[in-house]
Structure 1
């Protein structure tokens, strides 16, 4: 018998993890969501469909499809430029920046591109800002931008040698001259980490990332516990010194679980973390519902409030 403790109308707690918050409208086929608000409207950007854009009056929906961010695909001349991944949208100084990935599955020949907008409606593609190939120690996908007192940092990466970060110019349309990406997280024994998100709360910077197998669950289910899950390390600095709850360094295999498979929620990950104007700190992610199916096209958007009162994020 399962025991549930209902704390609010938003979610119930089961086995230590909250169930995803409610969602109405278009909630499926949502990979790697990035959410931002403008003038009371929520905008959701996600992998596929040349970056699909949905809007809603609330985080709960109803979500309505608005079209692709880049209708003609990316101007980056690489395989995958019509199937764009992992958008990250941020507002800086009155402009909106969408960083996105161009790659193919399992390839290290990748690029992080940038599109800019004055209003989240019309976008101009500026092309690549970070590139990778087999000569590089990193893979240039899954970007995330944070502004630290005017210093812009882009965190990115997956597999190979873990997660990397690089300082950006102001405005953040290119890498700061003379800067080279540096490693912020790595696990030599298990390199399956990707999708970093850096979020400040109080005196700490939290490095969230996804770990495990992300996709194709209907064809090849990973061993139990090896599917996608959301991890975290923290530091008093935004660019180094990240450790997990046990004090293990994030560049030496560290990482504490924030959210993993539970109940009918399977493979949560591809997360974004943002400060919601109504709900407070939010973890948004994709997952599949075991009751519905495991195909990639069946992935849903999930979201939960986060409590940092212990010094660590709890959904």
Structure 2
């Protein structure tokens, strides 16, 4: 064990990340106070910046430790899962409008295995800070409440009203309306249950994030253990407060014991491509946009060194039927997503099938893909036949870190509601 060399961290040691863009053009990543193999960890919500979403520099902490009210309530020594959002003014001015931009950071203070937790609020005029604590938004006690007040995420409904999505294990995921004027709860309530899992799997659900797309709300949420078996699941609803259903129509608030692993469409899990690094437990994602493009940021662990974790950014694409799928390769920059020459989509691919009942790492296998036409990597919805399965898929370009070049990639959903992701095999 040793003191942290934060200059060398980059995106390593980033846990429960979220990303926003400042008015200075830089991307800001906020994450949990976590690191592997060090004696002390800087507390107060870690902050990193990047000019391109690829190279990250550690910038310290947003706050000088755990704010006193949250620390007194929870006993926490660090902050978890900060959610940062550009806040509109109380009159409903749009984000980035003429009013001076305000930023809200919702942080979690808790200890492992306890429902004695608090979500607090800090504000700033710039994501670079300085941040001012505004106190507790919601607090829960282990011996009183089923819901656990951690893992906040904010979504604005179609009318512009803010909602906080929160919760972890125990009582599941809840949605509670916030005040546009204060950023705190509009009413003294715990909100509406929108997702949970049965006790047979320890109620293992957390790290929720809701995003609006084409008039519907999509819930991204992590199942199972952050240590080794996390996966990202998705449900959809016409309302922020649910009910959310997966691609097969199964409700995410009341899965049966028999469907505890199957419910929630699994869009990302542990995977390894030939010659590549094995990645396990991807989860606790946030979603952000760059113009019309959508991205996911999440943390992941290295299969050969599970204590080591890092943040990765991936593209989110949408199938013809309107379902989100995720790139199998991390984002490596906009100039790495187009092929110099279009090539046939059909051919040999390395593909992973994210069977929902499989919580371990999935090794890609070589499959034959049948499809019409050519692609230069420009994202396009297509019907693919992959290893005999017919997929509602998207084909796009991505950087293959093993081949060291841009390749065609796909993600799609088969008739059973199972997601496949693949990377076209590179031949000499």
Tell me the residue number matched to 2:264: 255
Task: Assess if the C-alpha contact under 8 Å between 2:294 and 2:316 holds in 1.
Answer: yes
Residues 242/232 of structure 1: CA separation in 2 closer, same or farther (3 Å cut): same
Provide, for residues 232-254 of structure 1, a one-character-per-residue CA deviation record: whole Å limited to 9, x for no partner.
Answer: 10011111121001101110123
Q: Which residue of 2 aligns with 1:303?
A: 313
2:66 to 56, 67, 73: 73
Superposed counterparts of 1:61-100, under 5 Å: 61=55, 63-75=56-68, 76=70, 77-93=72-88, 94-100=101-107
- What TM-score do you get using the length of structure 2 for normalisation? 0.62
Give aligned pairs, total: 277
Output the CA distance in 1 between the equivalents of 2:223 and 2:152.
Answer: 16
**Selected match of 2:111 from 80, 95, 104:** 104
**CA deviation string 1:3-44 (max 9, x = no partner):** xxxxxxxxxxxxxxxxxxxxx970100100010001321000
Instruction: Give runs of aligned pairs for residues 251-290 of structure 1, distance below 5 A.
Output: 251-253=253-255, 254-263=263-272, 264-277=278-291, 280-290=293-303
CA RMSD of aligned residues (A): 1.6
Structure 1 unaligned spans of 5+:
1-23, 218-226
Specify whether residues 67 and 197 from structure 1 end up closer, same or farther in structure 2 by C-alpha distance, changes over 3 A only. Answer: same
State the partner residue of 1:141. Answer: 150
TM-score calculated relative to the size of structure 1: 0.84
Runs of 4+ in 1 over 2 A off after TM superposition: 78-82, 177-180
Deviation at 1:160, TM superposition (A): 1.0
Match of 1:41 in 2: 26
Task: Give yes or no for contact 1:167–1:179 (8 Å, CA) kept in 2.
Answer: no
1:111-260 alignment runs, 5 A limit: 111-120=118-127, 121-133=129-141, 134-148=143-157, 149-177=159-187, 179-188=189-198, 189-190=200-201, 191-215=203-227, 217=228, 227-253=229-255, 254-260=263-269
Alignment check: 8 A CA contact 1:32 1:285 kept: yes
How has the CA–CA distance of structure 1 residues 247 and 81 changed in structure 2, closer, same or farther, with 3 Å as cutoff?
Answer: same
Question: How far did residue 58 of structure 1 move?
Answer: 1.2
State the secondary structure of the residue aligned to 1:195.
strand
CA distance in structure 2 between the partners assigned to 1:172 and 1:255 by the alignment: 34
Tell me: CA distance 1:132–1:290, structure 2 relative to 1, closer, same or farther (3 Å): same
- Alignment partners' CA distance in 1, 2:290 and 2:67: 29
* Equivalent residue, structure 2, for 1:221: none
User: Counterpart in 2 of 1:313?
Assistant: 324
Cα gap change, 1:65 to 1:85, in 2 (>3 Å): same
Q: Distance in 2 between matches of 1:284 and 1:123?
A: 23
Following the alignment from structure 1 to structure 2, what is the Cα–Cα distance between the partners of residues 143 and 80?
19
Instruction: Provide the secondary structure at the position in 2 that maps to 1:140.
Output: coil
Indicate if the aligned counterparts of 1:152 and 1:172 stay in contact, CA closer than 8 A: no
Between the aligned partners of 2:222 and 2:32, the Cα distance in structure 1 is 15
Taking the aligned partners of 1:306 and 1:125, their CA distance within structure 2 comes to 33
User: Please, which runs of 5 or more residues in structure 2 have no aligned partner?
Assistant: 1-7, 34-41, 89-100, 256-262, 273-277, 327-428
Counterpart CA distance in 2 for 1:157 and 1:92 is 22
Where 1:299 maps in the other structure, the secondary structure is strand
- Higher-Rg structure is 2
Distance apart, 1:179 and its partner CA: 4.2
Residue number in structure 2 paired with 1:12: none
SS in structure 1 opposite 2:66? coil
Kindly state the Cα deviation for residue 276 of structure 1 after the two structures are TM-superposed.
Answer: 2.4
Q: CA deviation at 1:161?
A: 1.7
